[in-house]
Amino acid sequence: ATSFADAAAEVLRANDRGQRTVAAPELYPHQWSWDAAFVAIGWATLSVPRAVEEMRHLLRGQWATGMIPHIVFTADAGYFPGPARWRTERAEHAPEVATSGICQPAIHSLALYSIGERARRNGGEDAAVFRSFLLDTFDDWVRWHRWLDSARSTHPSGLVEIHHPWESGMDNSPRWDAPCARITVGRMAPYEREDVRHVAAADERPEDADYDRYLWLVEQLVEVDYDDEAARRVVDFRVGDVFFTATHAISADLLATLGEDIGRPAEAAELRGMAARARGAVARTVDPQTGRARDFDMRAGTWIDADTIGGFAALVCGTDHEAYAALVAQLLGPQWCAHPALAHPVPPTVTPDSPTFVSRTYWRGPQWPVLVWLFTWALRHHGHDDAADAIGRAGRAQLGDLTFAEYYDSLDGQALGSRNQSWTAAVALAWAA
Ligand code: DGY
C-alpha cells in the first residue's frame, strides 16, 4: 500500500514540468502565483533545490513594477484566458515571458521562510542552496512587497486593493457579490470557457455571468495598458481585500526575518514597517458585532458583510492576544469547524449558516485543503498549537481518499474541482513531514 506522503509526492512528480509545476494536470496547465508558493512548500519536504527552482521560475514573470503576476504562461494550451486575451505585451512594465496582468495573495515569503527552515534543519548542501537563492533573489521579493505597499495600498483604509476577483484567489466568494453586482459588462470579443470542460459538473465552478464580469475587468485593465494609477481610476472593481492584506503582512514580516539573517537590516526595517501598517489595516476592519475582519468596497465606500473564511484574516497575520484567542475560539466553534452539518471539522469557505452557502460551488462553501493548511501553519506560528493540531488532524483525514482534489463538498465530503491538484498534494506533504 502506498503511504499518504508517497501518494502526494507522486502527484507533484506527475505535475512537474522541470522548473515549474502545473497547478493542476488539466484545469490549470500553467504556473500560478500563490499555487507555486504552496507547491514549493511541498517540494521542500522532498527536495530543497527543487523547491527553490519553483520560486525562481515564478520570478521570471515578475514585472518591472515589482508585481508578481498570477499566471506565468508556458504554452497557450487548454486554458482560458490565455496570453492573447491578457495582451500584457502592451504594458510598459511587463516581462519577456507571457504572464497575466494581475496578481494573487502574497504568500511567497511565507513559503521562503518555510523552505528556509527545512533547509536549515537538513543542513549541508540544502542550507547552502537556500542561502545562495535568498542572496540572489532577496531584492526581488522586497520589490514585490514595496509594490503592494506603494501602488496597491494608497487607500486611507490601508488595505491592499485588488482590481479583479481573481486577485483575491477566492474568485466567486460571496465577499465579492456586492461589488460584482455593480459591474456593467460592456462590449467585448466573444469567448469560450475552458474550465467547465475539465470538471465533472458546471455547478462546481463560477457561473457564466461571473465569467462575463471577469473578462470585462480584463478588458478594462488592458484598456489602460495595466498602468497602476490609471487602473485605480477606471476599473469597475476596486476592493480592499483584507485576506490579501494579511498575507502581505505576514510575508513582509517573515521576509524581514530572512533579511536580518543575511545582513540586510535596512530592508528588514522597511519590511517591518510595511507589515505593521498592513496588520493595523486588518485590525481596523473588524466588525464589532462579529469580531471578524471585513473587506472594503472602495467604489461604493462601504464595508462588505459576508460570512466567509476571509473574516479570519487576522489569524494569518496576527493581532493582539485577546482578539486572536477570541477568533480562534470562533473558528473552532459551532458556526465554523464544529458546525454539526460538516463532513470534516475543518473551516469551510462560507459558514453553512449563511444564506449564500453552497456546499459544492468553488469558493461559496466547499473546504479547500490549501487554506485549511494555511490556518494550521498560522495558528502554530502564533502559538496556538492545540488548535493547529486539531484542525491539522481533520484536514489530513479529509485527504484520506488520496484524490488530492482542489476542494471538497463540506457537507458530504465529496472530492470536487480538479483531482491531483498540486497545492493539495503539497500541503499533504507539509502535514505529513
Ligand atoms: C481560474 O481559472 O479559475 C483561476 O482561479 C483564475 O486564476
Tell how far the Cα of 303 is from the centroid of ligand 1, in angstroms: 25
- Give, in order, the Cα–Cα distances in Å from 196 to each of 165, 174, 236, 359, 420: 18, 20, 26, 18, 17
pLDDT score, position 77: 72
> Which of 27, 28, 99, 193 maximizes ligand 1 atoms within 8 Å of its Cβ, making it the mutation to test the pocket?
28
pLDDT score, position 300: 98
Of the candidates 132, 157, 160, the one whose C-alpha atom is nearest the C-alpha of residue 146 is: 160
What DSSP string runs through 190-257? ----SGGGSSS-GGGS--HHHHHHHHHHHHHHHHTTT-HHHHHHH-S--EE-HHHHHHHHHHHHHHHH
pLDDT score, position 323: 97
406 noted as active-site residue = yes
Work out the angle between the directed axes of helices 385-398 and 321-332 (0-180°, nearest 10). 30
Residue 77 burial (10 A CB sphere; 0-12, 13-18, 19+): exposed
Domains of the chain: 4-432 (1.50.10.10)
Query: Interface pTM (ipTM) of the complex?
Result: 0.90
C-alpha 192/C-alpha 194 separation (Å) is 6
> Which of 68, 79, 166, 167 maximizes ligand 1 atoms within 8 Å of its Cβ, making it the mutation to test the pocket?
166
C-alpha 358/C-alpha 360 separation (Å) is 6
| Among 53, 267, 406, 409, the one annotated catalytic | 406
Q: Kindly give the number of the ligand 1 atom that is closest to the alpha carbon of 27.
A: 2
Tell how far the Cα of 166 is from the centroid of ligand 1, in angstroms: 6
Tell how far the Cα of 102 is from the centroid of ligand 1, in angstroms: 12
Tens of pLDDT along the chain (433 residues)?
Answer: 569 999 999 999 999 999 999 999 999 999 999 999 999 999 999 999 999 999 999 999 999 999 999 999 997 677 999 999 999 999 999 999 999 999 999 999 999 999 999 999 999 999 999 999 999 999 999 999 999 999 999 999 999 999 999 999 999 999 999 999 999 999 999 999 999 999 999 999 999 999 999 999 999 999 999 999 999 999 999 999 999 999 999 999 999 999 999 999 999 999 999 999 999 999 999 999 999 999 999 999 999 999 999 999 999 999 999 999 999 999 999 999 999 999 999 999 999 999 999 999 999 999 999 999 999 999 999 999 999 999 999 999 999 999 999 999 999 999 999 999 999 999 999 999 9
| Among 171, 253, 267, 409, the one annotated catalytic | 171
pLDDT score, position 1: 52
Q: Kindly give the number of the ligand 1 atom that is closest to the alpha carbon of 214.
A: 6
pLDDT score, position 78: 79
pLDDT score, position 234: 97
pLDDT score, position 75: 78
